[in-house]
Chain A
């Protein structure tokens, strides 16, 4: 893809290398299809079919980047686009991707609204831990938090069930 060379409406493919802060690895992603109609001016923004936003940045800015510096960024970063020396930075939301079974356990013990909020909170902790400690430790911490959360929720569920049981028993007595 050549800078500013494509005509209006032309779609271009670029290869990208990105840094994953969770696995702390640089990897190659699928080619990205961008609309090249405006030329690839620095600062130009593109939105791919998945809705992710791409921003072209100054190659000089990228030259100062390294994997270590990229780890400071909490989100996925495109470090370099291989073709034609065009450099981009790609930012997208992290996929928390915490253990699903832990979510299931919480969902089973709390009301849907509470369970959603509790799982969201654990996901938020997970994302922070992931950026700080890496994914393996973040998963261990996620499980620890989940398991420590189960007993209070279970106890609450039991108390509620007993209350309803007592109410039903009282109603039955008068029927």
Chain B
């Protein structure tokens, strides 16, 4: 799969999963992204994207513990796979290559 197919949210999710390892689950991922980008992805978009990433073999999930504040529902922890890391690196390198040496001018006011 081409790295270009990673969306911005998917890049954020993969980076958050690496940053939070081994405690990356829905709420911690949302908070991690919100703290760093100022935008909190919705629960639905997080799980829809993670579902897609898992289908592509970029992440793996495992069930965690259920806690009272979660109403007895189990957490779902995510870890990135080697394939996911490779794809993410390619994707970030593509952004780097595109932005390298840019002079930030020419924007219309």
> For residue B48, which residues in chain A have a CB less than 8 angstroms away from its CB?
152-153, 155-156
A94 within 8 A of B: yes
Assess the B71–A119 pair: CB atoms within 8 A: yes
> For residue B49, which residues in chain A have a CB less than 8 angstroms away from its CB?
152
Q: Report which A residues bind B (CB closer than 8 A).
A: 93-94, 96-98, 106, 110-111, 113-114, 116-125, 127-128, 145, 148-153, 155-156
> For residue A93, which residues in chain B have a CB less than 8 angstroms away from its CB?
68-69
State the 6 A-B residue pairs at the shortest beta-carbon distance, nearest first: A149-B44, A120-B73, A93-B68, A117-B76, A121-B26, A120-B70
B58 within 8 A of A: no
> For residue A96, which residues in chain B have a CB less than 8 angstroms away from its CB?
69-71
| Beta-carbon nearest neighbor of A156 in chain B | B48
| Beta-carbon nearest neighbor of A121 in chain B | B26
Which residues of chain B from 44 to 80 have any CB-CB distance to chain A below 8 Å in the complex?
Answer: 44-45, 47-49, 51-52, 61, 63, 66-71, 73-76
> For residue B74, which residues in chain A have a CB less than 8 angstroms away from its CB?
116-117, 120
| Beta-carbon nearest neighbor of A122 in chain B | B43
> For residue B51, which residues in chain A have a CB less than 8 angstroms away from its CB?
110-111, 114, 156
B42 within 8 A of A: yes
Report the bound CA distance from A79 to B63 in whole Å.
37
A-B contact pairs, 5 of them (CB 8 A): A116-B74, A121-B26, A122-B43, A148-B42, A155-B48
Contact of A123 with B73 at beta-carbon distance under 8 Å, contacts A110-B47, A153-B47 already known:
yes
